[in-house]
Amino acid sequence: MTVPPCDLLRGQFDLTWALFEYHLDRLTPEDFLWEPAPHCWTMHRSAEGTWVPDWADSEPDPVPVPTIGWLSWHIGWWWGVTLDHVRGDPPRERTSVTWPGPGRPTADWLRDLRTAWLTALADLTDPDLAATAPFPWPNDPRHTVADMLAWANAELMKNAAEIGQLRLLRGAAAS
């Protein structure tokens, strides 16, 4: 029996989200801005009071260790942009993605993105999945929308694992 691509992608997403939710449920506000190393990327308050991520247009060497706050902002950015593409909306700019702040506001933001993602996936058809992916490989005919969804699942799994590891390291360092 062959599993339809959208069902396979949805099953993969559900498993990834369940693994992420385990850590998301256990995060404290203090976890988000804990700096695991001297050379790290985190979130900072701007003069206007919004949160701004550390950023470089080309990847630095060595790569900074991200905080949970930075990783959660990063998820919101790439996932929101991917969602824009799935919906056919103009993709948002990185600088327009506002992180809600440590703790429950960010957990709620990510859960809202999950709900929007599931709604968008439910509307996709097999021809939609076979179309050329608009992101993250702009108009490369070798990559389909199904590839884009698989990439999003993989990116979420990677970021969820990073957040989980940072949460565990912080807990171990405190004891």
Q: Is the pLDDT of residue 4 over 80?
A: no
Q: Is the pLDDT of residue 3 over 60?
A: no
Q: What is the amino acid identity at position 95?
A: T
Specify the range with the lowest mean pLDDT, choosing from 11-25, 99-113, 123-137: 123-137
Q: Is the pLDDT of residue 2 over 90?
A: no
pLDDT band at residue 123 using 50, 70 and 90 as cut-offs: confident
What is the value of pTM for the model shown? 0.94
Which residues have a Cβ under 8 Å from the Cβ of 172 and sit 6 or more positions away?
Answer: none
pLDDT in tens, 130-139: 888 888 887 7
Q: Which domains does the chain have, with CATH numbers?
A: 5-54+61-174 (1.20.120.450)
For 19-71, the pLDDT digits (tens) are: 999 999 999 999 999 999 999 999 999 999 999 999 999 999 999 999 999 99
**Alpha-carbon dihedral angle through residues 153, 84, 72, 108, given to the nearest 10 degrees:** -100
Which pLDDT does position 8 carry in this prediction? Answer: 84
- pLDDT over 90, % of the chain: 78
pLDDT given for residue 79 in this prediction: 95
